[in-house]
């Protein structure tokens, strides 16, 4: 559902009041989330109900995501957008690290049904918070009438804007090829590095810690004057680090490489999202961010060819080829999209103000 509904959800965000779309979708998500614990506690849940529940909740989550991205720039000063994007990313990275542990504690302490009930309540609280926001009105550009309002307008806009095409292309290659190692990580832990479940947890943890620290670096330093160049360079480095991990047979080296991979991916993906948020006009932001979101949800699709390739060539070569594909695309972007290398996310007036205050 997340792949199918991301682009149509972007259309809804652009065509209607994006905050209302967000609140309605999250409210429906909360109601749908509440259905499962009720069925579990009533003894009516089975595998088919869980599958159907996953599809429905995934659909509502996908419907709200582009609206969330569309609203965010109108809640803050655009000058702090890099830090805002990075902070949002850090929260999600932190949830990935802490979430499974919290879920395990809840399941052990209060049982499956009540644990899912807590989740539904949390989503409901988030819905109320979204409804309480006061975003600025949209600023419609002079070229708005030329863009159109159909579902494919966002794709056409991206295709004829090399900076956005290259940025979303990097996200696509990272998701489909670069992140395939995550699905094969148990194979590395068990069969290649022979470190078992604890080693697998350590590899996951080092990746997450690197990602969080990379995000903190963006918050502390900002995207910088040479943001476009940094995005492409760190994308190439990420691919090489993943290829290096695939070749490693040492647990300490593997942890170090995944730590650096998490750090570098956090840097360039946060810069990419910031570039889109700052440069895409308000009337197209929902559709463009819907396509950006869809590229991330494609990671599960990328697991299929990665797994098939691992069956034929082995997991190390499959992962190495995925990493090298990201690096190769980054080199292609560097050569074919010179304007991206000169993207500057530093406001000249900010620099002048900083210089004056420091004088």
Per-residue pLDDT band at 85 (split at 50, 70, 90): confident
53 with 170, same domain: the answer is: no
181 and 311 co-located in one domain:
yes
Note the pLDDT tens digit of each residue in 148-188.
667 788 888 899 888 999 999 999 999 999 998 999 999 99
DSSP string, 248-317: ---HHHHHHHHHHHHHHHHHHHHHHHHHHHHHS-HHHHHHHHHHHHHHHHTHHHHHHHHHHHHHHH-HHH
pLDDT at 83: 83
176 located within any domain: yes
Distance between CA atoms of residues 29 and 250, nearest Å: 44
334 or 298, greater pLDDT:
334
Number of structural domains in the chain: 2
141 domain-assigned: no
Mean local confidence (pLDDT), 215-221? 81
Same domain, 199 and 342: yes
Q: Are 221 and 123 in a shared domain?
A: no
Verify that 44 and 161 share a domain, yes or no.
no
Q: Are residues 53 and 157 in contact, defined by beta-carbon separation less than 8 angstroms? A: no
What mean pLDDT comes out for the span 30-39? 93
Q: What is the mean pLDDT of residues 56-79?
A: 90
pLDDT value, residue 141: 66
Residue in the block written with tokens 């996310």: 345
Q: Is 320 left (phi over 0), alpha (psi -120 to 50) or beta?
A: alpha
Summarised one tens digit per residue, pLDDT across range 101-126 is 788 888 888 988 898 899 999 999 99
In a domain, 147, yes or no: no
Contact by Cβ (8 Å): 68, 10: no
Both tokens of 39, joined, read 């069925």
Write down which residue in 115, 131, 147 finishes a domain. Answer: 131
Residue 225 lies in a domain: yes
Cβ contact 13:290 at 8 Å: yes
Q: Which residues fall within 8 angstroms of residue 176, CB to CB, at 6 or more apart?
A: 295, 298, 299, 301, 302
* Res 221 pLDDT > 80: no
Q: Give CA–CA dist 142/259, Å, rounded.
A: 45
Measured CA to CA, the distance from residue 93 to residue 151 in angstroms comes to 30
The mean pLDDT of the chain is 87
> Does residue 143 fall inside a structural domain?
no
Is there a single domain that holds both residue 313 and residue 182? yes
pLDDT band at 253 (very low <50, low <70, confident <90, very high): very high
pLDDT the model gives residue 355:
32
Domain that holds residue 273: 156-349
- DSSP annotation of 314 reads -
Distances (CA, A) of 257 to 129, 211, 229, 243, 250: 39, 12, 22, 9, 10
Same domain, 72 and 21: yes
> Is there a single domain that holds both residue 54 and residue 115?
yes
Identify the band that residue 147 occupies on the pLDDT scale cut at 50, 70 and 90. low
Q: What pLDDT was estimated at residue 351?
A: 41
Residue 330 pLDDT exceeds 70 = yes
- Domain co-membership, 103 together with 178: no
Q: What pLDDT is stored for residue 353 in this prediction?
A: 39
| Distance from chain centroid for Cα 227 | 18
Q: Are residues 256 and 113 in the same domain?
A: no
Q: Please tell me the distance from the alpha carbon of residue 107 to that of residue 294, in angstroms, as a whole number.
A: 31
47 Cβ contact partners less than 8 Å away, ≥ 6 residues apart: none
Instruction: Please state the separation of Cα 50 from the chain's center in Å.
Output: 25
- Summarize the confidence of residues 304-324 as an average pLDDT: 93
Specify if 212 maps to a domain.
yes
Give the residue with greater pLDDT, 341 vs 187. 187
CATH code (residue 301): 1.20.1250.20
Count Cβ atoms below 10 Å from residue 19 Cβ, excluding itself.
20
Among 96, 114, 131, which residue terminates a domain? 131
Question: Tokens at residue 175, please?
Answer: 């998701």
Q: Structure pTM? A: 0.84
Structural tokens at position 261: 């991979």
pLDDT band of residue 323 (cuts 50, 70, 90) is very high
Whether 161 and 94 map to the same domain: the answer is no
Query: What is the C-alpha separation between 125 and 120, in angstroms, rounded?
Result: 9
Question: Is residue 142 included in any domain, yes or no?
Answer: no
Quick one: pLDDT at residue 152? 82
Residue at 90 is within a domain: yes
Tell me, yes or no, whether 126 and 169 share the same domain. no
């Amino acid at each position: 559902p997340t792949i199918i509904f991301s682009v149509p959800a972007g259309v809804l965000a652009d065509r209607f009041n994006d905050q209302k779309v967000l609140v309605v979708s999250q409210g429906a998500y909360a109601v749908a989330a509440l259905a499962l614990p009720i069925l579990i506690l009533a003894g009516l849940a089975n595998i088919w109900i869980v599958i159907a529940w996953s599809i429905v909740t995934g659909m509502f989550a996908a419907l709200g995501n582009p609206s969330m991205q569309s609203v965010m720039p109108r809640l803050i000063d655009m000058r702090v957008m890099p830090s805002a994007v990075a902070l949002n990313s850090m929260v999600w990275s932190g949830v990935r690290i802490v979430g499974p542990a919290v879920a395990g504690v809840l399941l052990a302490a209060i049982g499956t049904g009540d644990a899912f009930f807590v989740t539904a309540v949390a989503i409901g609280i988030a819905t109320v918070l979204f409804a309480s926001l006061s975003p600025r009105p949209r600023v419609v550009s002079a070229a708005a009438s030329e863009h159109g309002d159909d579902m494919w307008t966002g794709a056409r806009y991206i295709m004829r804007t090399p900076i956005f095409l290259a940025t979303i292309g990097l996200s696509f290659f990272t998701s489909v090829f670069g992140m395939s190692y995550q699905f094969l990580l148990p194979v590395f832990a068990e069969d290649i590095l022979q470190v078992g479940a604890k080693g697998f947890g350590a590899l996951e943890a080092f990746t997450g810690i690197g990602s969080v620290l990379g995000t903190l670096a963006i918050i502390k330093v900002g995207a910088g004057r040479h943001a476009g160049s940094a995005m492409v360079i760190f994308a190439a480095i990420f691919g090489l680090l993943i290829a290096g991990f695939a070749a490693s047979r040492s647990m300490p080296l593997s942890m170090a490489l995944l730590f650096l991979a998490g750090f570098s991916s956090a840097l360039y993906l946060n810069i990419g999202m910031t570039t889109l948020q700052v440069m895409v006009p308000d009337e197209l932001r929902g559709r463009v961010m819907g396509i950006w979101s869809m590229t991330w949800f494609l990671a599960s699709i990328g697991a299929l060819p990665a797994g098939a390739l691992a069956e034929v060539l082995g997991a190390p070569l499959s992962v190495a080829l995925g990493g090298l594909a990201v690096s190769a695309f980054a080199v292609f972007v560097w050569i074919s999209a010179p304007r991206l290398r000169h993207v500057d996310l530093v406001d000249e007036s900010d620099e002048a103000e900083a210089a004056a205050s420091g004088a």
